[in-house]
Structure 1
Amino acid sequence: MNEELQKLQDKIVVLLRTVYDPEIPVNIYDLGLIYDVDIDDANNVTIEMTFTSPSCPAADFILMDIQMKIESIPEVNRVDINLTFDPPWDKSMMSEEALLELGFM
């Protein structure tokens, strides 16, 4: 990844760490809900992600928050979010910080 794309990737991760499920006091990135962030040559961003449950009541809110925040980055042309439940999320995908915050360590 070239330096410009790496800087854009870093900006995206910073913003993803500001997105929270209203019911969980940990951001979606550290929860392990983000599986992949791909940036193409035209600065179109594709985010592959999941939820802790397919029936997440805050799904629409979270998706809208991600969309608005990533689109606010001037270098980003377009944002596409792909939801997947394969592999299904489990707590092993959480960062150490998230595990500590939620009392799993």
Structure 2
Amino acid sequence: MSRGDIEDRVRGALDTVRDPCMTASGLDLSLVDLGLLREIRRGPEGLEVDVTFTEPGCPFSHRLMDDIHRALETLPDSERPRLNIVWTPPWTPADMRPEARRQFDAARRRLGPHATQTISIEEISR
């Protein structure tokens, strides 16, 4: 299997991981949509994947990490990458795929600049 095929399979697996805060806000956006997948590469010890979070203090980073590990476990052992968390460069909405950015901006306009939305813990924990 070619390197490109393996990278596509890794990207596809990670595209199934949804951001819990986006989901609770009514947006069906994956970590790939959000631009949280930074790089897939061959390292000295095999395939490596760099991901980031929307902020270092993300209260749901443990949930995302569990979901990422579960998604990567669906790959054959020979294709399972090592996972690295990176913080540079910091994530911004500009990292999002164009369609994800349009959905994100529409949701922000709907809420308004000073609006808050209360989301139950059950909603986020799904």
Deviations 1:47-72 (A, max 9, x none): 11111110111111111211221122
Give the aligned CA root-mean-square deviation in angstroms: 2.3
> How big is the shift at 1:40?
5.0
Identity of aligned residues (%): 28
The structure 2 residue matched to 1:36, chosen from 29, 36, 39, is 39
Match of 1:7 among 1, 5, 8: 5
Distance 2:91 2:34 in 1: 9
CA distance in 1, matches of 2:69, 2:5: 19
Q: Which has the higher helix share?
A: 2
Rounded to whole Å, the distance in 1 between the matches of 2:80 and 2:9 is 15
User: Within 5 Å, which residues of 2 pair with 1:58-97?
Assistant: 58-74=60-76, 76=78, 78-97=80-99
- Corresponding letter in the other structure for 2:14: L
Q: TM-score, normalised by structure 1?
A: 0.82
Distance 1:51 1:95, change over 3 A: same
| Structure whose alpha-carbon radius of gyration is higher | 2
Q: Which amino acid aligns with 1:11?
A: R
Q: Which runs of 5+ in 1 are unaligned?
A: none
Report the equivalent of 2:30: 27
Q: What is the TM-score normalised by the length of structure 2? A: 0.70
CA distance in 1, matches of 2:2, 2:44: 11
The gaps in structure 2 that reach 5 residues or longer are 107-126
Aligned-pair CA distance for 1:77: 5.0
User: What SS is found at the alignment partner of 1:65?
Assistant: helix
The amino acid across from 2:32 in the alignment is Y
Provide the secondary structure at the position in 2 that maps to 1:102: helix
| Partners of 1:86 and 1:41 in 2: CA distance | 21
